[in-house]
Amino acid sequence: MKSIILIGYMGSGKTTVGRQLALALGISFYDLDWYIEMRYHRTVAQIFAERGEQGFREIERNMLHEAAEFENIVLSCGGGTPCFYDNMEYMNSLAETVYLKATPEVLAMHLKMGKVERPLLKGKTEEELLQYIKESLKEREPFYTKAKYTLDVTLLDNYDKIKTSVQLLREQLGV
C-alpha cells in the first residue's frame, strides 16, 4: 500500500483525520510538524523565531523527504508544506495525496477553537484572521488542488462526522 499524505490549510483537520485514518487502516501516523519538533528538539514556533520562515521551510522540506520515505504511513503536513520548493510534486510521486478542503469561515472557527499556538496567526482579531485565511488560501489553493484526491471537511465538527469523513476517504482511496 502506498503511504497517504494529507494536506490542507491549518485548522482543516489533517491531524485529526490522519490519526483516525491510520487507526482504521492499522498503520502508523506521523504529523510533519511533530516530527520536526522531535528531530530538532524545538517547537515550530521556536524554529520560526530563530531561523525565520525561510529557515523553517528548508528544515520542513528536508524532514518531509525523510518522513515521506517511510512505508505504509499516514502523514499530515503543515499548511504551507505543499507551497514551497517541489514539495507537492515530490509528495505526489511517493504517495496518495489528499487535500482536506474547507471554507475560510470553517477554518477560522476551527483555529479559534484549537489550542495550538500558530506563529502566523499571533495577535490577529477575528476579522483579521478571516481576511488572512481568505488571502493565503487564494495563494495556496493552486498547490493544494494538485493533490490526487480532495475531501470536503467543512462539517468536521464532531466524532461521528470525523468517522464518516474517514470512511469516505477510505472509499475514495480504495483502502
Contact 68, 92 (CB under 8 A): no
DSSP state of 151: E
pLDDT tens per residue across span 68-101? 999 999 999 999 999 999 999 999 999 999 999 9
Strands (E), 77-148: 95-101
pTM: 0.93
pLDDT tens per residue across span 10-68? 989 999 999 999 999 999 999 999 999 999 999 998 999 999 999 999 999 999 999 99
Architecture of domain 3-167: 3-Layer(aba) Sandwich (3.40)
Spatial distance between the Cα atoms of 62 and 52, rounded to a whole number of angstroms:
16
User: Does the pLDDT value for residue 121 go beyond 70?
Assistant: yes
Contact 97, 172 (CB under 8 A): no
Domain boundaries, the chain: 3-167
DSSP state of 130: H
**pLDDT value of position 124:** 85
pLDDT tens per residue across span 139-164? 999 999 999 999 998 876 677 888 88
